[in-house]
Structure formats: C-alpha cells, structure tokens
Structure 1
Amino acid sequence: MLLLGIDIGTSSVKVSVVDAETQQCLAAISYPETEREILTRQPGWAEQQPLQWWQDAKQAILLAHATQRYNPQEIGAIGIAYQMHGLVLIDEQHHVLRDAIIWCDSRAVPYGEQAFQAIGAEQCLTHLLNSPGNFTAAKLAWVKEHEPEVYQRIHQVLLPGDFLALQLTGEATTSISALSEGIFWDFAENELSEDVFRFFGFERELIPPVRAVFADHGHLREVIAEELGLRAGIPVTYKAGDQPNNALSLNVLRPGEVAATAGTSGVIYAVTDELFVDAQSRVNAFAHVNHAPELPRLGVLLCINGAGSMNRWVKQTVGHELSYPEVNQRAASVPAGSEGLLCLPFGNGVERMLANEPVGAHFLNLDLNVHTPAHLLRAVQEGVAFAFRYGLDIMRENGLHPTVVKAGKTNMFLSELFAQVFVNVTGLAVELYQTDGSVGAALGAGIGAGQYATPDDAFRHMQRLQLLEPNAEAAAYEQTYQRWKTALLSYLHPTPEPAPSQA
C-alpha cells in the first residue's frame, strides 16, 4: 500500500507518497515553488487564505502524480500535518468566513493575558499547562469582539489541518492534540476547558467531534477523488500539528527524546511524561501525537518565530540573485562571529520565549568599512542559532537537559554552517535524517491505518545521515553568544530615560 502525506506549511504545501512496506519516499513535491505570501494588513497581523492551502495541496498532489513514479490508485491512506495555532472559521455550509489568523499573528496577546489573569496563573498553568497568550482560543476571542457578525455565523472552529481534512472528506473532526495547541483543553479534567469557554463566552458546539490523532477522520469524497486521480473512500487516518508531526517523522515518541526544526519558525520539541509547566509560559507543553490521559506524552515546545523567516528576508534583501546553497556558501566565507556583527532575528511577531515582547529584528555593530552582504548572511544564521540557545537555556532552567537532538536535513539544517553553529552554541550533538513533515504525515497515516504493529515499525528503515558534535569553535562562540545575549537583554529591559530636571 502507498501512503499520501500532506504538510501545510506557511511558505508552501508539500506532499509525499511513501511505500508503506519499504518506507521509501517515491515522490515529493512542494507547491508553489516561490514562498507563499503572509497577509499583513496591520503591524503584528498575519493571515493566509485557507482555500489557497487547499488549491496548493491539490496542485502538489497532481504534480506528484505527474512524476509517474507510482500508481495513484495504490494510495490507501492519507495523513495531514499543518502549521499550528491557526484559526479557521466555517459556517454551516462549510464556507470559510474570513482569512485564517495564523500562528505568528500577535493581535490576540492582550486577550490571552486577560484570560490568564482572570482564570488565575495557577489554574492556567496546572490545567492548561500554558498561558492562553496568542494561541487559537485568544484569536477566536479577538474575532468575537471585533467581528461579531462573523462570530455569529460560525458553525465550527478548525485548525488548518482540520480544514484540509474537511475539504477532502466533507467531515470536520479534531483531536486532543489539536485542542491543546489552541488552549481549549483542560489536562487536569481531561475535557474542554470550562474556564476558557466560560471566560471568553464560547459555545462548546463550535468544537468538532474529538478523535484520536491516529484514527479515522473521514473518507475521500468521490468528487474530490475524481479530481485528484485517487480512489474514492480513502481514509484520512492521521492529523497533527507540524511540530508534533516533525517529532513523529524522527521517531521522537518517548520521554527524553528531542526533535528540532528550522523552517519558517525554529523549534526544539522535547517529549516528557510529566505535566510540564514553565511559570512564565515562555516554553509550552502540548499533547503529543501519542498522548493519552492514562499514559501522558507531552511535547515541550520552544518556538522562535524569526528563524527561516529571517533567513528568507536577508536572502531577498541582499542576496536575491542567490539560491539558498549559494547563500550558505557566501555566509561560510566569513569568519566565525561575523567580525563583530550581531543579529537579533525577532521580526516575525512577538516571541513567546521573550514574554511576548515586541523586540523586532536588528543588526548591531554594523561597520560600513568592514561588513559586506556576506557578513549579513552569516550573522543571520548565527543569530538564529543564538536564539535557539537562549530558548534552550529556558528549558534547562525547568529541568529539561537534552544531550542529543534529532533533525531532518531540510530547511536551515541544509546549511552546514547553520547546523555546526547550532551545535557549537547549544552544546548539543545533532543527528540528521532524511525526512520531513510530509513524509512524517504519510507514515502517520500508515500508523493510523494499522499498517504497522507499533509506531516504531514505521521507522525501522530510518538511517542517520550525519552526526554533528561541537568542534574547536565552540569556546569562541560562547563568548559571542554572551555578547549577543547582553544585546538582547538591553532590548528586553531597556534602561529608563532620566526624568527631566525641574527648573
């Protein structure tokens, strides 16, 4: 049997077709080739069109078929991964009511903070494991206040993956994992959060039926099957947010195991069997793909909004004529430390790990007689690695001490420079594997369809490509990191201006 995996990213939609027996990827397509736009109608806002995701997914599937590397009629299950925390609203006819408010949108922060104060810090942190912040529930509260005519027409509230499954099957479902990432789920009571729904005045009927991550989430409609050259009735057997799914794709399922990714955002994702809480909610715990109330599996997620987004910006700004491999080559031509140039890569919305402070992106110590575009390219990759270190230290403060991280050799980890700087500045060894989110979604579909006796069986052919360990530059990078951290703290805690003297 063949498995189809669909990954709704911020920049593009990627699909992969995987042979369930050999676990080999037979075809992989990203669409569009250029990065999809984020709609920013006001500062701090970030939206995308759900129907554009659907059109991109269909186009990617058809392009995968066009490779002629497999028989589409042999595809027997579909899995979906998706950008987390997005808000998709539909009416009773399943029509989209407004553009999706996506993960890096900052407008709902005040609503989440009000809920945190009203519900109480202890109640939130022990029941929800996180502050509501600018997660999906707070975004819905913003719509309720600012767009009441839209709110009144809402039939169901969906995450991006729920929406894609709805287009495929005509059926809306969700999961505990999805609800936990939206801050709708009470872990202590193992049910929808009475506190959140009461405070915001939400109706429970807005939430679709809850099913397991690995479960039947509907079957491919005949009209869609005909359009996509697939068999009608194929089940959607897996749905998960991109970071839990990335961990699955790396077989990171057990307590103590850690996954990382550096796509549009940068993430470290550590699995634990304890109800993890950071008192300041700078890193957040969500239900992992294999979580169950009787066998807790939580993913502690450190997210850096400004990772690949910052790398994309600097490429477009000073290296628009270069490919990403050429960007990496130019960056590697500059000495470690970028000859004093520092980058704070926080220009893609407020950062949870910085207590939702709008730090923004900055280049510091720019010397017009020394620094070239290549210095900017390297400083960005170093700055993203430094941001990972800053967040990792927060995880360490809370008792998580990973020693080895697994990552797919994709996105920024395709840069040998970035990968080695990441290792040197964090002190963590990194194992690189040939996998990505769409392959993980395909294998998740196989698990959900019962193709494997255990989840581990889905990865029995997975082989490590590379092991990176700290090298001789690690000590020098520690000094550079401390200068970078001092610069960051000056933005987080600026020295107040002296009061004007009295005449």
Structure 2
Amino acid sequence: MKYVIGIDLGTSAVKVLLVNKEGEVCIECAKEYPLIHEKSGYSEQNPEDWVEQTILALKELVDHGNVNPEDIEGISFSGQMHGLVLLDENYEVIRNAILWNDTRTTKQCNVIKTKLGQKLFKITKNPALEGFTLPKILWVQENEAELYEKTAVFLLPKDYLRYRLTGQIHMDYSDAAGTLLLDVVNKEWSKEICELLNVNISLGPPLVESHDLVGNLLSEIAEQTGLKEETKIFAGGADNACGAIGAGILTPGVGLCSIGTSGVILSYEEDRNRDFKGKIHFFNHGKEDAYYVMGVTLSAGHSLSWFKDTFAHSESFEDIVEDVNHVPIGANGLLFTPYLVGERTPHADAVIRGSFIGMDSSHNRDAFVRSIMEGITFSLNESITLFRNAGKKVDKMISIGGGAKNDVWLQMQADIFNTEILKLENEQGPGMGAAMLAALGCEWFSSLEVCSNQFIQVSKTFQPIDDHVNKYKQLYEVYKNIYPQTKDLNEKLKPFRE
C-alpha cells in the first residue's frame, strides 16, 4: 500500500495525517504551539515553533504509523491564511509572524482604500481588511523600517514551513489570493498595487499551482523524521481552499460550513467575472483555474473556547454542550454576538466586540452555551444571506470542524440556514484536502473530483424543521439589529481596552 501525508498548519496546532489510497486515515498526530499576544489586537507566532512541532509530529507519525517510509510517496500542506513571515537575503526570519487574527492595521487598511479605491476590488476581488497580508507589510514598513529594509521575500505560514522542509521558496495561488497583492484573475503579483503602495514586487515569491511538485525533503529533515529524502513535496493551499477540497467542494451546488477557531461559509465558483462588490471574499481555489467565495466569522469556535476557558476550564467541550438540547430555541431570550476580536463578514469591523443581549437571572450555563452556538450560527448565516442575495443557490451544505461534532449544532445549522446539512463519515478538514493534493500530485487520480469520490463519504444528513426555521427567522431579525446598535458604544469603549 502507498501513502501520502497531509500537513495542516493551524493557528494553535499542526496536524499531520497519513492517508492511504483508499482515503483512509491510518494515523494522525498533532502538536500545539503558543500564540503571542503582546497587546490588545496583536497576534503573533514564532515560525520556528511551526517547524519544530511539525518535525516532531512527522517523527511520531513515522515511528507509530507501522508503515515503511519508502511507501510514503508525497506530502502536501494546508495552512492558516494571511500571516506575514518576513525573510532576509539569507532566508532567515526577521521577526515573529503576524497572524490572520491580528487587528493592528486599521490605519494601513485606510491607506490602501484611499490610494487604490475600486482598483483593489478589480484586481484582488477583495476589500482591505486588517487580517490580510498587505496591510501587515505596510505596518512593518511604517513602524519597523529597519526590519522592512532587510526583507528579501515574504511568505505565508505554510510556505515558510515547506521552505524549511525543502529549501525551496514558493507560494500557491489559493494562499496568494489572501495577500491583497495577487491579481486573482490573471494569477500574477500586481505590479500596479505594488507601485501605488511602494512595495517592491520582488518580495513576492514564485507562484505555483496547489498540486505542483516543488521539491523533495532536505537530508537533515529526512534524518530527523525518518522519512525518505525522495519523498515528493507538493505546494498545498490555503486552509479554506484545502478544507473545501477535503469536503468535496469541487463543483457548483454544494456549500461548506467550517467551524474552527474562525468560521467559514464557502461556495465553489467558476465565473471569474462574478462581482460581489467586496462584500464577501473571492479567492483562487486549490483546484486549478477555479475559485471560491467565502464569508468569515472571526470568533466562531473561539467564542466557545473563550467561554470554556473562562467559566469551565476543567471540563471538556463535550461536557459543556451536553445539555444544550434541553434549552429551547432562542436560549430563553438570550442572544450572543461573536465579535470577540472584531468581525469580518459582513461588517469588516476591527473595533466591534461581542455582546450578550437579554440576560436575566433565570439564565443558567446551558442557556449561555446555547446562545453562543446560536450566535455563531447567526453570524455565519449573514454570509449565506449575502450569497443568496447575489443569486447563488445554497441548497445543501457540508459541515466540518467543531460545529460538525455535535448533532444539536448540526440541526441548528440546518434550521438557521434553512438548508440540508451533511456530515461526513471521516471528516478531517484541511488536512485531508492537503493529502488529496498530494495524491493528485503523485498521479493516483486523474482529478480532484475522482479523488473526492474515493476519499469522501457522507454519514448523516440533517433536514430543516419548519417550526424551528420560522422561530429562527424571527430571532435572526433581532440578531441583525445588535451590530448597528452597539457599534457606537464599542467605539467609545475602545480607549478603555488594555
């Protein structure tokens, strides 16, 4: 039997999957690393942590996978999007990586909007938001000029990890689309954007397709992990693109709901000229010459993690959601907005913060947990509303991530989205998408669609319940009013945040 490895470099941990030709995950290993929050709005990581923990995970996989390393043919990657890694002329890291959930760059976003205007949407198909890479580059340029002057190339997180494993510098189109420097349709770094913002276009690495072969393992990495130097390394893709591949979102008609640290609503798109006017994201897919549209809730699973860590630290997620089915729809009049670190879709607001509305002394912990789950799902539904208003059908959705691990939450998604929800038999998210890109690169299959038919199976479906749908429609209208009525209050509270 032959195998491939999918490496998913997430925000809190790296996960590696060993997958055989049947699409079975034979073993998985994960290693965590810390976030660095120097001050409010700052979110960084040390790229060396990614490398060290990935090597440890790969070694553990080889040691305990009960397979011959010679039978592991290829490796590919999925990675957290938008994070900025700066390298000098010797390809040494200059500073900590600035991550996707860092919100320090509001000033730089305003500069981009002023200098580019509608050109930004025409070229990149996306608005200037704090999470994207270009504003981070401009922030370093303005605030750490001596470091910026040393910069020879910038990479995204998984591209830096891949460089350390292969010695080769590349970036794939799906991840490059999240930088605000890529001409999304023409698939090249935008000379016009670089010139208008005084960014040297040579900072952008060579661009490749997600399934492209980009090298082999360095001898020292092979020695540390037990893998063979001859192992083929493929470029991989952005975590959302790989999540779409790993869920089989490769043709029109089926959408994706992914609830991890952030939450994503995603739909396949073939029309490169479709104009969403910057209201939702439009990115290159990990599938060649295809695209996807996407809305993002910044604090999806993070909202539930925050509640658990703050109020139920010693309990598991399973424990805290166990009894939410005993709480009625609407959590007895308690509504939550998941704006713990600002919001992305549809508000693009780095200042807004979360709220519990309607709280009284009758609400117990289970009501708070249900209101958080409902609030996250309402926020994701705002992206679905934008899709539907733009003429896209949302009739069926595959749910992955933390939101797919609880049947109550899956039914909640079906009711709030008013669409069929599918749960996968063996849901591995972006890591599986990375493995599928390696399988395609190794020529196991003629296309990702053929690979998907082999690797991905549905285990359970959830249909919307009419009575629930009607109740949630009423609550959703109330939920949508919270943002405009708390925006000004949050602006006034900003000076008091540490």
- Determine the C-alpha separation between the residues in 2 that align with 1:339 and 1:69: 52
Residues 1:132 and 2:128 are matched in the alignment:
yes
- Determine the C-alpha separation between the residues in 2 that align with 1:12 and 1:168: 18
- Determine the C-alpha separation between the residues in 1 that align with 2:15 and 2:402: 13
Inter-CA distance 251–496: structure 2 relative to 1 (3 Å threshold): closer
Partner of 1:354: 347
Q: Report how many residues are paired.
A: 485
Residues 1:276 and 2:249 are matched in the alignment:
no
Residues 1:117 and 2:114 are matched in the alignment:
yes
Q: TM-score, normalised by structure 2?
A: 0.93
Consecutive unaligned residues in structure 1, runs of 5 or more: 498-503
- Determine the C-alpha separation between the residues in 1 that align with 2:128 and 2:190: 11
- Determine the C-alpha separation between the residues in 1 that align with 2:444 and 2:161: 23
Letter in 2 for 1:325: E
- Determine the C-alpha separation between the residues in 2 that align with 1:222 and 1:305: 39
> Is the 8 Å Cα contact of residues 353 and 490 (structure 2) preserved in structure 1?
no
Q: Give CA deviations for 1:374-430 in whole Å, capped at 9, x if unaligned.
A: 21111111110111112211222222221111133x322202222111111111211
> Is the 8 Å Cα contact of residues 246 and 432 (structure 2) preserved in structure 1?
yes
> Is the 8 Å Cα contact of residues 219 and 232 (structure 1) preserved in structure 2?
yes
> Is the 8 Å Cα contact of residues 44 and 349 (structure 1) preserved in structure 2?
no
Partner of 1:432: 423
Partner of 2:3: 2
Match of 1:469 among 463, 478, 493: 463
Residues 1:454 and 2:436 are matched in the alignment:
no
Inter-CA distance 166–190: structure 2 relative to 1 (3 Å threshold): closer
- Determine the C-alpha separation between the residues in 2 that align with 1:208 and 1:412: 35
Partner of 1:501: none
Letter in 2 for 1:435: E
Q: Give CA deviations for 1:63-94 in whole Å, capped at 9, x if unaligned.
A: 22343443333211001000011111112222
Structure 1 residue 493: Cα displacement? 6.5
- Determine the C-alpha separation between the residues in 2 that align with 1:156 and 1:63: 32
Residues 1:43 and 2:40 are matched in the alignment:
yes
- Determine the C-alpha separation between the residues in 1 that align with 2:333 and 2:166: 54
Instruction: Give the superposed CA RMSD.
Output: 1.9
Matches within 5 A, 1:64-463: 64-121=61-118, 123-134=119-130, 135-187=132-184, 189-274=186-271, 275-279=273-277, 281-292=278-289, 297-368=290-361, 370-408=362-400, 410-433=401-424, 434-436=426-428, 437-461=430-454, 462-463=456-457
Structure 1 residue 230: Cα displacement? 0.3
Structure 1 residue 352: Cα displacement? 4.2
> Is the 8 Å Cα contact of residues 357 and 492 (structure 1) preserved in structure 2?
no
Structure 1 residue 339: Cα displacement? 0.7
> Is the 8 Å Cα contact of residues 7 and 81 (structure 1) preserved in structure 2?
yes
> Is the 8 Å Cα contact of residues 176 and 210 (structure 1) preserved in structure 2?
yes
- Determine the C-alpha separation between the residues in 2 that align with 1:221 and 1:351: 39
Structure 1 residue 198: Cα displacement? 0.9
- Determine the C-alpha separation between the residues in 1 that align with 2:304 and 2:458: 26
Inter-CA distance 363–496: structure 2 relative to 1 (3 Å threshold): closer
- Determine the C-alpha separation between the residues in 1 that align with 2:237 and 2:490: 43
Identity %: 25
Residue 346 of structure 1: SS of its match in structure 2? coil
Partner of 2:16: 15
Letter in 1 for 2:216: H
Q: TM-score, normalised by structure 1?
A: 0.92
More displaced stretch, 281-290 vs 65-74 = 65-74
Letter in 1 for 2:484: L
- Determine the C-alpha separation between the residues in 1 that align with 2:490 and 2:86: 43
Residue 295 of structure 2: SS of its match in structure 1? strand
